[in-house]
Amino acid sequence: MRQENKQNPGDGAIAEGYPDLIVRNFEDMERRMAGASPGEVFLLSGEEYFQSSRLLSILRERAGELGLDVARLTPEDMTEVNLRALFTEGSLFSPGKLIIINDVDKLSKRDREDLKAAVEAGSQHILYARTAGRKPSTVLIRALEAAGTGFTCWDPFPNAMWLWTKRLAAEEGISFTRDGGQAAEAIAAGKLQRLHEVVSRVALFHGRGKKASGADVYAAVKGVRETSAFQFCEEILSGEKGKAMTSLSLLLASGEEPIRLLALFYSQWKQVSGAGELLKNGIPPKAVAEKMGIPQFRWKNVEGLARAGKNHASASMLEAFAFADHQLKTGGDPLVAIGSVVLTLTTGC
């Protein structure tokens, strides 16, 4: 099987030039799925779903070109499906099927054995299998890897996000100035699906042919929850405990995802505290901004918060973030979990 991404981007040991390889691998998979033939097997995994959704759309279009029926299954459907029969039986009205199995790693033991036997025997169908998040190492997964082509969907690295911004903007018929692209990426907070939403909103707001600046981006997304979330972070970092707690309550009540909000809060705090340490060590502001990759449209605000000296890194803050993350992932009250971090940071401010 062709292994598309052998190195985990979270490892931290990333060779120079590796980030753009993810984008090139994605484009390679697009081409492969656009030209897929009966008998091919595709295995997708990873915790980022925008890419797999895009690839599946391409594969469905290819199935239409080939005249294939589409069968979409989940583990819950298997009580009514015989996988061996599904792969061996033909169709009266089409040359084959596109068989889509989501959460393939969650199949029962019997269904895993049936699917393994089916892919090893080969068929006239195309199989698209998607794991529920990260790829496990099981007998079935190894069989799917041996039979076909795999792709791991990673969230993009910060220094490769611009490649996706450029691509998505071109699809919408717009482009960005340097600060416009940086603004879109800041709002997206590292998530491709959110970046797609931002780019689409800018295109809808300003129209095709627009070259959007940072101001244009914020004008288009004004009032969306991402912007409110940034306001919440600024209130905390400014030491405005009351305002921050009010904003936190409103954001959670409006449906803001707690884990995402905590992650954004952490990234903003880390950026400001890191800038503060560098400034304290006598590094010039411009050099600090460049070293940390902070766009100019945001640097003035970051510098002001960093020089205030209220957001320095400390063991208590790191413990507060870790505790809140654990609470959110184990069913704790989001208001209490994130609020505890707000209180830790703003106490004494």
- What are the helix and strand counts (H, E) for the chain? 16, 8
In this structure, the answer to whether residues 82 and 127 fall within a common structural domain is: yes
In this structure, the answer to whether residues 22 and 97 fall within a common structural domain is: yes
Q: How far is CA 17 from CA 22, 42, 185, in A?
A: 10, 26, 20
In this structure, the answer to whether residues 194 and 311 fall within a common structural domain is: no
pLDDT tier at 292, thresholds 50, 70, 90: confident
143: which residues sit within 8 A by CB, 6+ positions away? 116, 119, 120
In this structure, the answer to whether residues 235 and 308 fall within a common structural domain is: yes
In this structure, the answer to whether residues 118 and 192 fall within a common structural domain is: no
In this structure, the answer to whether residues 81 and 107 fall within a common structural domain is: yes
Q: Determine the average pLDDT of the residues in 31-37.
A: 93
In this structure, the answer to whether residues 215 and 313 fall within a common structural domain is: no
Q: Which structural domain, as residue segments, surrounds residue 85?
A: 2-152
In this structure, the answer to whether residues 28 and 145 fall within a common structural domain is: yes
Please identify, among 152, 184, 210, the residue that sits at the C-terminal boundary of a domain.
152
CATH number, position 184: 1.10.8.60
User: Mind listing the pLDDT tens digit for each residue in 185-218?
Assistant: 888 878 888 899 899 989 988 888 999 998 888 8
In this structure, the answer to whether residues 291 and 321 fall within a common structural domain is: yes
In this structure, the answer to whether residues 66 and 188 fall within a common structural domain is: no
| Separation CA 3–CA 148 (nearest Å) | 10
Residue-level pLDDT at 10:
38
User: Mind listing the pLDDT tens digit for each residue in 251-281?
Assistant: 887 788 899 899 988 888 888 888 888 888 8
CATH number, position 305: 1.20.272.10
Structure tokens at 113: 């054995």
